[in-house]
Structure 1
Amino acid sequence: MEEDAGRPGLRERKKMRTRQAIATAALRLFAERGYEETTIADIAAAADVSPRTFFSYFPSKEDVIFAEIDDRLAEVAERLRRTPGESPMETIRRSIVAVLEAIAAEHRDYGPVQVALILERPALRARALQRMTDAQDAIEALLRELCPGISEIDAVAAAGIAVGGMQAVVAHCRREGYDPLSMRTALDRAVDLVEHGLVSVDALSRPSP
């Protein structure tokens, strides 16, 4: 039987499951034992993989904390492609909503641990800031591809509004321990606010040819 178009193959799905299992095991151990007390060997054992396998997915213990962020940004990049007859704004909303579905469902028990670690540790805060800057640059580039007529300032501002707004709401919901339904409601509201901030950019409302 052939794989569905656009759907990852069996090998890719297995790799995604292993990556997610490692990340979830790491956050659980950080919550139970503490960040410094948890070793890469501990994480690998909890995820039922070898330390060598751990390093094939993550360069360091710090990087595992950002697994979900990196995965979701990659998903946004994949989804932000031009669709004939659809305006860039419609593409952006559809893409963000699909990604937020995954965010609301992930790390229900350990989301607050992830946020707390980033806020408490200067090295992780620095990495988070760099990732956010990289995300804004990536989204800006995607917006330019999606909407060739967009001005430089509009692309920069739109990327900042989208990335900054959604990141702030996700972090707040996890820090405060929102349940999945409450988090989804909050994220829906955030999408509305982001969209409201972007509707003044005419280039985003023109349908793609």
Structure 2
Amino acid sequence: MRHVDEPELARGAGSGLRERKKRRTREALGSAALRLFAERGYEETTIADIAAAADVSPRTFFSYFPSKEDVVFAEVDDRLEEVADRLARRPLGEPPLEALRTAIVEVIEALVSGVGEYGPVQVRLALERPAVRARALQRLMDVQEVMEALLRELCPGIGEIDAVAASGVAVGGMQAVIMHCRRHGYDPLSMRAALDRGLAVVENGLRSVDVLTVPRD
């Protein structure tokens, strides 16, 4: 076993601390933005306002988000990162579909306790603001591409169309349920039930791709 000296351990701890701090800053910017959009309106809220509410500088805002449209979907990147991390840590021999299901369940838990009362604001902006709607569509396409890449990594033998269709089913299905719940102001218990049902529908569809149900060494 390789010996790890104290300076290296300290560097690892420092790196973890920096990542947690960055994550907290992203979350603070995202929640502050949605709150201000709800209270003042989207056009009336400036990037400087969001940065001040999160207790950071406008320059810091831009180190996390390219534009005001991007901060509306701050959680998307975070949740996708969680899915990728869970899939990367899947136990040896676990079927890809089971790994994917576990990752999505973890994301569901985070979503249910996430943006809360500002969920409808997020959906309304995506429906009413062309720039936000365009960014939402781009994000959806990006997420599907990432999911397709993850499926190809999990299942090297998966067919091209199977990978494309499976990623579309998984991402599109869950995104549609999330948008519906937030648009209609579901409480956490009702949202959890809806997401569980949506996951069951998605999982049933994915079972038609045989390679997803086969354990891999």
TM-score class, shorter-chain normalisation, is over 0.9
Q: Partner of 2:36 in structure 1?
A: 29
Q: CA deviation at 1:52?
A: 1.6
Q: CA deviation at 1:83?
A: 3.0
Q: Partner of 1:106 in structure 2?
A: 114
Which one has a bigger Cα radius of gyration? 2
The sequence identity of aligned pairs, in percent, is 71
Partner Cα separation in structure 1 for residue 144 and residue 106 of structure 2: 19
TM-score, L = length of structure 2:
0.90
What are the Cα deviations for residues 68-114 of structure 1, in whole angstroms up to 9, with x where unaligned?
11211122122223531210111110111111111111110101001
Partner Cα separation in structure 2 for residue 55 and residue 135 of structure 1: 22
SS class of match (1:80): helix
Partner Cα separation in structure 1 for residue 166 and residue 208 of structure 2: 10
Q: Partner of 1:89 in structure 2?
A: 97
Q: Partner of 1:121 in structure 2?
A: 129
Q: CA deviation at 1:54?
A: 1.3
1:136 to 144, 148, 159: 144
* More moved, 171-180 vs 10-19: 10-19
Q: CA deviation at 1:56?
A: 1.6
Partner Cα separation in structure 2 for residue 57 and residue 149 of structure 1: 36
Instruction: Name stretches of at least 5 consecutive residues in structure 2 with no aligned partner.
Output: 1-5
Instruction: Name stretches of at least 5 consecutive residues in structure 1 with no aligned partner.
Output: none
Q: How do 1:106-185 and structure 2 match up within 5 A? A: 106-185=114-193
Q: CA deviation at 1:45?
A: 1.3
Partner Cα separation in structure 2 for residue 132 and residue 197 of structure 1: 19
What are the Cα deviations for residues 121-162 of structure 1, in whole angstroms up to 9, with x where unaligned?
111111111111111111111101101121111111100100
TM-score, L = length of structure 1:
0.94
The number of residue pairs the alignment matches comes to 206
Amino acid corresponding to residue 146 of structure 1 in structure 2: L
Cα RMSD (Å) of the superposition?
1.7
